[in-house]
Chain A
Amino acid sequence: MKLRLRLLPYFYVFMVMFFLYAPLVIMILMGLNRSPLYTLPIKLDLVWYRDLFHNQRLLSAGLNSILLGIAVAVTATVLGTLAAWVLARHKFRGKSLLQTLLIPPIAIPWLIIAVALLLLFFWIKVPRGLFAMYLGHVGVALPYVILLLSARFQGTDPALEEAARSLGASPLVTFLRITFPLILPGIIGALLFTFTISFDNFVISHFLAPPGVSTLPVEIYSAIRKGFTPEINAISSIIFLFSATLILISSRRIEFV
């Protein structure tokens, strides 16, 4: 009785993990199944992965997703780092307002931000497409960078910067030689994190994608609405494993807690 009670937490955690991972594992296995109708039991075959490499639509969507993700990650991380430095290191009037302004982009459902962006771009005649998506993705990624790196800056000792300054280093040299190496892990974390935000973003891309231009999530959405094919399993498995790897790497850089 006592032993069973002690095992209960293990069993419970296992059950919840099963709920979280079972569908994903099943999806990956079904992508390795030869039958196009998902017939069970599974006969292993890589045929759907082979097909994937001949699917021009998915390939170009994949390329779009990766390029967009890189552009968003670099832009948001560079700009966000500058803002985070000011917010973390200085006291000034209006600072708490600036910090409060970071909350809406995180808290408001992306659906609302996405349709609002669609309307703005229509109004000022920015055509729908990758550039419009880029503008939107950076907007929702920036607050995360600023919050992440503010924490990182606060974790480093400003006395080190002051020492460098008092020894005659210019602000730029101080930043490059002292501050930058100290926050580098945070910057790498932010790059990976914002890449994932953009790479996985469906809602904003969905509303800003014109016919013919798409990203992977947009392609998957239209594929699912048309019906199920094991090819979607294959591309979904690749995306899942790719995102999971990125998160595992970046979590070593970011202190989530």
Chain B
Amino acid sequence: MSFIRKNLTRFLLLLPSYSWLLFAVLIPLLIMLVFSFLSDTPLGSRDVYATLKNYQTYFSLGFYWVLTSKSILTAVYTTFICLLIAYPMAYAIARRLPGRWKAALFMLVIVPLWSNTLVRLYSWAIVLRDGGVLEYALKSIGLPIQNLSILYSYPAVIIGLVHGYLPYMVLTIYVVLDRLDDSLLEAAASLGANPWQRFLRVTVPLSLPGVIAGVIMTFIPVMGSFIEPRLLGGKEGTMIGTVIEDQFVQLFNWPLGAAIAFLLLLMVLVMLTAMGLFVRRLNRTSIGGTE
């Protein structure tokens, strides 16, 4: 009796959260899959039937392939640049600067992370636009610039994306570097490793979990980004994310939008699974495998 009651209580406590998650996240994704097979947006009195047309459109027109690979490349560039900037940053905060500064610097990294995306992008538009602050600053130090024309270009999109995802990368790497056991480095030193060897053979391998977490947290959202390309890239910023947005907001071809969004979802899931397997293998080798 009390066994049943206990289980019932647990069930009732879990029910609201999980039914909400089911209703607001998982079921919509299924509905999206269903829509991707429709011949037309079911508005008005149109005849709608099931078809593979939308997927055929995606795979037969080079256009969508080009934009998908552009999104993937953008994610690669953004992730790589973030990693390049973030690793030294995290290393400096965790291991080089005075410990009493850590908390404050940590907060300074977090604040832009949670500031509004649109506010951030708007601030970049103000800086990068023709006649904007950057142009003014470059002119005033004597550079002969007429029109900078950075806003509405591909580099502007990359700048906006790096600005948005850099804090994630810094945080995830900082966390592992901060917890790094100093005695391992001392042991390496006492065995004769020089600072570079200690860094490359002890610090870097042990920080890999943080790096991977940062890569996942950057790569996947960038694949699905559309605000940065739209607002900072203009025409140069057309990507798979902006195409999806267009299908829903401008063109009202919902089934095609659903098909593209579903393919994007598949790519994301494949990547998540691959990364998950990689992390699991990494954990196994770092615990069990001593060379």
Q: Which residues of A contact B (CB under 8 A)?
A: 9-10, 12-13, 16-17, 19-24, 26-27, 30, 38, 40, 79-80, 82-83, 85-87, 90, 92, 98, 101-105, 107-113, 115-120, 122-123, 135-136, 138-140, 142-143, 146, 171, 196, 199-200, 202-203, 206-207, 217, 220-221, 224-225, 228, 232-233, 236, 239-240, 243-244, 246-248, 251, 256-257
Contacts and interface: CB of A to CB of B under 8 A. Distances in A.
6 contacts: A38-B131, A82-B13, A112-B32, A122-B254, A217-B117, A224-B121
Interface stretch (B16-24, B46-54, B57-65, B281-289): B16-24
Contacts of A228: 125-126, 129
A212 B167 CA distance: 35
Top 8 closest pairs, chain A to chain B, by CB: A109-B224, A139-B24, A116-B28, A27-B123, A9-B92, A83-B17, A23-B123, A9-B96
Interface string B8-44: 0110011011101101111111011001000000000
Say whether chain B's binding surface is mostly helix, strand, loop, or mixed. helix
Given A116-B261, A118-B248, A207-B248, A236 B224 contact: no
Q: Which of A92, A120, A217, A225 has the most CB of B within 10 A?
A: A120
A98 B14 contact: yes
B167 to A, nearest CB: 7
B114 interface: yes
Contacts of B73: none
B219 to A, nearest CB: 11
Given A115-B258, A228-B125, 15 more contacts: A13-B93, A20-B166, A23-B124, A24-B115, A26-B127, A40-B136, A92-B7, A110-B224, A116-B25, A119-B28, A123-B31, A139-B24, A143-B21, A202-B117, A248-B107
Interface residues of B, number: 84
A107 B175 contact: no
A13 B136 contact: no
B7 to A, nearest CB: 8
A83 B35 contact: no
Contacts of A19: 85, 163, 166
Q: Which of A104, A109, A136 has the most CB of B within 10 A?
A: A109
Nearest to A37: B131
B148 interface: no
B21 A142 contact: yes
Contacts of A83: 13-14, 16-18
B126 A107 contact: no
Contact of B125 (A16, A105, A142, A224): A224
A240 B163 contact: no
B257 interface: yes
A3 to B, nearest CB: 14
A221 to B, nearest CB: 6
Contact of A104 (B7, B25, B109, B167): B25
B16 A79 contact: yes
B89 A116 contact: no
A232 B31 contact: no
B111 interface: yes
Contact of B24 (A24, A136, A206): A136
B112 A21 contact: yes
A236 B244 contact: no
B180 interface: no
B171 to A, nearest CB: 8
Nearest to A120: B28
Contact of A113 (B7, B17, B28, B175): B28
Interface string B73-100: 0000000000001001101110011000
Contact of B31 (A79, A119, A203, A206): A119
Contact of B116 (A101, A102, A200, A206): A200
Given A107-B268, A257-B175, A200 B114 contact: yes
B214 interface: no
Contact of B119 (A82, A143, A240): A240
A224 B119 CA distance: 10
Q: Which of B97, B107, B118, B119 has the most CB of A within 10 A?
A: B119
A224 to B, nearest CB: 6
Contacts of B91: 9
B43 to A, nearest CB: 9
A11 to B, nearest CB: 9
Contacts of B110: 247, 251, 256
Given A111-B244, A115-B248, A248-B111, A221 B29 contact: no
